Amino acid sequence: MSAGGITAEPPVAAAPPASGGEGKLGRYLMVLVFLGPALFMLTVWMVYPAVYTIVRSFFGPTGFFGHWAGVSNYEQLWKDHNLRTAVKNNILWVAIVPAFVVAVGLIFAVLTERVRWSVAFKTVVFVPMAISAFATGVTWRILYDQSPSTGAINALGRVVSDAVSPPGVLPSALPSTPTLQQQSNGALLLRTPLHPGDVARLGLTAIAPTDLPKSAVQAVDPAAKQGDIVGVVWRDFKPGGGKPGVVEKGELGLPGVTVELRSSGGKVVQSATSQANGTFDFTNVPAGTYQTAVGAKTFAKSFGGYAWLGPTLITASLMIAYIWIWAGFAMVVIAAGLASMPRDVLEAARTDGASELQIFRRVTMPLLAPILSVVFVTMIINVLKVFDIVYALAPESTQQNANVIALAMFNTAFAGGGNFGVGSAIAVFLFLLVIPVLALNVRRFKRDV
Amino acid sequence: MAAAATAAEIPAAHDTVSAKILRGVAKAPLNIILITVGLLWLVPTLGLFITSILPQSALASHGWWQIFSHPSLATFSNYRNLFHNAGLVTALKTTAYIAVSNTLLVVILGAMAGYAFAWLEFPGRDWLFIGVIALLVIPLQMALIPMFRLYDTFGLFDTWYGISLFHVAFGLPFAIFLLRNFFVGLPKDILESARIDGANEIVIFLRLILPLGLPAIASLAIFQFLWTWNDLLVALTFGQNTTPITVWISGQLREFGSSIDIIAPASFISLIVPLLVFFAFQRYFVQGLLAGSVK
């Protein structure tokens, strides 16, 4: 292994390179060659700017001289409405997201240990890590669309909601005469008091032809019956208009409508469903005064979709997308920790008759704790600096509601803000938040050495 | 002896078959849960892809999942239009320049510094290394404003190499940290015998350290490449007309609904490259991840 004539120094007996023949100067020159370029980059792009930003944060928006601002830039963090929102939101991010990521990652890591195709599962869950947070933002913006016919999540919501509480047969219907009154829960109450032997006429309008039940036939004005309260629910409208409150030729009965008979106290004593011709019959009604109403269920609207990107939900929506990205990271790191678990300890616990749950709580978790805390701390840092996904996923209209520290810093200093003083203060604030982690890193290194 | 072995194995085999079936039945719910979760995890990316092959007119009234009942809606015209879009092609080139150049530089400078920290003796080495570790957590927000001014002065603003150099600097602390720790673990005697043989440090670095350090270097390179390919914030700050693909797409976000036929396919193109890199070098990626967080 002679180095092709580059050096001609004699072999040294003592191994440490310190005693080489080049002398101190030569060795330091070598250090400079290896270390110099990196140190130059770090100094110019990191150390100098960090110092500059700290100093800059005490000066006004445009320059140094004569613009001393004291701590007023920092006061903006809670005085300025947008900045306050950003800080509040970031607190929520830190409080919620790291815990969720660790929990989801832990569950996935433990569960995948028990199946054969764990590699496939891990790959699928890990893929979002390779994709830019920006593209993820675009992706989820498509999923979060508010209309259940174009947004996948709300479409799923509609399927579930329709199964749990099916939409009414007549979601859009309105009363045809003022004798029918809409109640706060959506039911339509016929104000006329009824006694056994009376006929109730419940006329409805504003029903789109497409909403008409297919089985509907010509409405029939029922004949009064002794001891019963009978009635009709019909579409009180025909092409050309018709006379409100009167069942006429060409007007259709509304089948499948739930009609309630209420006592004078408002209690539902009977309910009936209308026939194809719209008629219904409450039989054997004891003497007394009653009212009828079309139940609220008839008018229940179909699920309209949640505004995932609206001002209230936007931060929650962002967090869900963010957890989708990072769960894979937590899972892979935790799974590696599980794999390196000392098998003999686990075996010993099993031999001693500990249950799987006991082993998990008493053996696995304590051994895993350092790894969980590393993932947790990493996530806190990531979450403090969250930017791309908010920028891409939150529409302009709700971006202020979704504001976070990094986004506020960018918008304050650049993107038309142009306030370098407050921008620097926000950056320093962010830096102060991560310093505890810095201390942690240095401590860990010192321990290792 | 063979017969005895077979005889002994028969009941055992019988046992495992029934045990296997039992275990399989017991694990069915777990498998179903994991399959469901896995599919759920795929849905967003699948949704983006399908959206990218649907015409704007269809997307106004149809959800992307309806392609399964109307497969004829699919079209590649979005992609065709996009590749005739000069803006996108330029943005893709810029992204590649930035990602490749800064990855190369980070690997070279990081390996050199990592070697110095691991194997060269000089006063204050550990303190300097602690300084580098401290730099690991400096948020890049701390550098945006001063570098914005400096770039303006030195003509680096709105250039791909300006953006690239910024990434180099902020990639270096992790690179040095990762490679130094890897190099320290290399067998000491190989290095020392090379030194005794009279090999100069540069030769040792090129002939020994780089080849031996390849696994760590690969991890680092993949990380740095993905990180910078996917960057938004740095390019948003230091680019104006020279922008990578993320920034180029973000310019269309204002009209999300009406530009979806550009946004969706462009986003999908932007994630194809990282995805390919990830699948090709998955092992190194995970190794780097573990080195970075668990160490």
Give Cβ neighbours of residue A425 (< 8 Å, ≥ 6 apart): A57, A73, A74, A76, A77
Percentage of chain A beyond pLDDT 90 is 29
Hey, what long-range contacts does A46-50 have (CB within 8 A, 24 or more apart)? Answer: A46/B135, A46/B138, A46/B142, A46/B143, A46/B169, A46/B170, A46/B173, A47/B135, A48/B146, A49/B142, A49/B143, A49/B145, A49/B146, A49/B147, A49/B150, A50/A431, A50/B138, A50/B142, A50/B143
Residue type, B49: F
B276 shares a domain with B133: yes
pLDDT score, position B2: 41
pLDDT score, position A4: 36
Q: Give chain B's domain count.
A: 2
B205 shares a domain with B71: no
Nearest to B235 by CA among B131, B151, B124: B151
Q: Out of A12, A38, A49, name the one closest to residue B112 (CB).
A: A38
B70 shares a domain with B177: no
B38 shares a domain with B59: yes
pLDDT score, position A16: 45
Q: Which domains does chain A have, with CATH numbers?
A: 72-152+308-448 (1.10.3720.10), 174-299 (2.60.40)
Place of tokens 């011709």: A277
Please give the residue range of the domain that contains residue B116: 85-294
Q: Out of A120, A155, A409, name the one closest to residue B141 (CB).
A: A409
Average pLDDT, stretch B216-222?
Answer: 90
- Residue pairs spanning A and B at CB distance below 8 A: 315
Q: Is residue A442 predicted with pLDDT exceeding 70?
A: no
The verdict on a CB contact (< 8 Å) between B148 and A2 is: no
Average pLDDT, stretch A289-304?
Answer: 82
Residues 126-145 of A with CB under 8 A from B: 126-136, 138-143
Coil, helix or strand at residue B10 = helix
pLDDT score, position A11: 41
pLDDT category at B163 given cuts 50, 70, 90 is very high
Of B52, B77, B102, the one marking the end of a domain is: B77
B264 shares a domain with B222: yes
pLDDT score, position A240: 72
Nearest to B209 by CA among B98, B104, B116, B83: B116
Residues 300-329 of A with CB under 8 A from B: 321, 324, 329
Percentage of chain A beyond pLDDT 70 is 93
A320 vs A417 pLDDT, higher one: A320
B199 shares a domain with B101: yes
pLDDT score, position B63: 83
**Between the CA of residue A142 and those of A394, B73, B233, what are the distances in Å?**
11, 18, 22
A65 vs B244 pLDDT, higher one: B244
The verdict on a CB contact (< 8 Å) between A414 and B144 is: yes
B293/B136 Cα distance (integer angstroms): 12
A347/A342 Cα distance (integer angstroms): 9
Give the Cβ contact number of residue B87 at 10 Å: 16
For residue A198, the distance in angstroms to the closest alpha carbon of chain B comes to 49
Which among A2, A24, A27, A131 is the top mutation candidate for probing chain B, defined by the most B β-carbons within 10 Å of its own β-carbon?
A131
B207 shares a domain with B146: yes
Place of tokens 């929650």: A316
pLDDT score, position A422: 92
Average pLDDT, stretch B196-224?
Answer: 88
pLDDT in tens, B222-256: 989 999 999 999 999 999 889 999 999 998 888 88
CA A380 to chain centre: 18
CA A93 to chain centre: 12
B201 shares a domain with B121: yes
For B95-158, give the DSSP string.
Answer: HHHHHHHHHHHHHHHHHHHHHHHHH---TTHHHHHHHHHHHTT--THHHHHHHHHHHHHHT-TT
pLDDT score, position B248: 92
A8/A436 Cα distance (integer angstroms): 50
Contact A212, A253 (CB under 8 A): no
Enter the ipTM: 0.87
Of B77, B100, B132, the one marking the end of a domain is: B77
B81/B104 Cα distance (integer angstroms): 33
pLDDT score, position A10: 40
For residue A257, the distance in angstroms to the closest alpha carbon of chain B comes to 31
pLDDT category at A94 given cuts 50, 70, 90 is very high
Q: Out of B65, B113, B282, name the one closest to residue A38 (CB).
A: B113
Q: Is residue A101 predicted with pLDDT exceeding 90?
A: yes
Give the Cβ contact number of residue A99 at 10 Å: 13
Of B44, B77, B110, the one marking the end of a domain is: B77
Phi, psi of B110 (to 5 degrees): -65, -40
Hey, what long-range contacts does A155-158 have (CB within 8 A, 24 or more apart)? Answer: A155/B63, A155/B65, A157/A303, A157/A305, A157/A306, A158/A302, A158/A303, A158/A305
A126/A123 Cα distance (integer angstroms): 5
B186 membership: H or E segment, kind and range: none
For residue A137, give the chain B residue with the closest CA. Answer: B267
Residue A47 DSSP label: I
Average pLDDT, stretch A324-343?
Answer: 89
Tokens coding A441: 């890193």
A297/A13 Cα distance (integer angstroms): 95
pLDDT score, position B5: 42
B260/A145 Cα distance (integer angstroms): 12
Nearest to B114 by CA among B131, B129, B95, B135: B129
pLDDT score, position A87: 94
HSE, side-chain direction, 13 A CA sphere, residue A155: 14
pLDDT category at A19 given cuts 50, 70, 90 is very low
Tokens coding B95: 């992204």
pLDDT score, position B39: 93
Average pLDDT, stretch A99-114?
Answer: 92
Phi, psi of B121 (to 5 degrees): -95, 130
B264 shares a domain with B121: yes
B51/A142 Cα distance (integer angstroms): 8
Average pLDDT over chain B, rounded to whole?
86
State the Rg of chain B over Cα: 26
Average pLDDT over chain A, rounded to whole?
84
Tokens coding A46: 């990191």
pLDDT in tens, B271-280: 999 999 988 8
CATH code of residue B99: 1.10.3720.10
Q: Is residue A5 predicted with pLDDT exceeding 50?
A: no
Is the alpha carbon torsion for B115, B120, B126, B128 positive or negative? negative
Contact B226, B274 (CB under 8 A): yes
Asked if A369 has any chain B CB less than 8 Å from its own CB, the reply is no
Average pLDDT, stretch A406-413?
Answer: 93
A31/B201 Cα distance (integer angstroms): 10
A3 membership: H or E segment, kind and range: none
Which among A138, A382, A407 is the top mutation candidate for probing chain B, defined by the most B β-carbons within 10 Å of its own β-carbon?
A138
A224/B286 Cα distance (integer angstroms): 81
Average pLDDT, stretch B22-26?
Answer: 73
Residues of chain A neighbouring B269 (CB-CB closer than 8 A): none
pLDDT score, position A445: 64
Average pLDDT, stretch B49-61?
Answer: 86
Q: Where is average pLDDT lowest: A126-130, B15-19, B173-177? A: B15-19
Average pLDDT, stretch A337-343?
Answer: 84
Q: In sequence order, what are the beta bridge partners of A263? A: A290
pLDDT category at B136 given cuts 50, 70, 90 is confident
pLDDT score, position A20: 46
B24 shares a domain with B134: no
Give Cβ neighbours of residue B201 (< 8 Å, ≥ 6 apart): A30, A34, B120
pLDDT score, position B295: 37
pLDDT category at A217 given cuts 50, 70, 90 is confident
Place of tokens 């194997």: B119
Q: Out of B30, B116, B141, name the one closest to residue A35 (CB).
A: B116
The helix, strand and coil proportions of chain A, stated in percent and rounded to the nearest 5, come to 50, 10, 35
B94 shares a domain with B66: no
Residue type, B263: I
Residue A14 class from Cβ within 10 Å (0-12 exposed, 13-18 middle, 19+ buried)?
Answer: exposed
B72 shares a domain with B24: yes
Residues of chain A neighbouring B202 (CB-CB closer than 8 A): 6, 30, 33
pTM over 0.90: no
Asked if A434 has any chain B CB less than 8 Å from its own CB, the reply is yes
pLDDT in tens, A162-198: 888 777 777 777 888 888 888 777 788 888 888 888 8
The helix, strand and coil proportions of chain B, stated in percent and rounded to the nearest 5, come to 80, 0, 20
A135 vs B285 pLDDT, higher one: A135
For residue B222, give the chain A residue with the closest CA. Answer: A130
Residues of chain B neighbouring A431 (CB-CB closer than 8 A): 138-139, 141-142
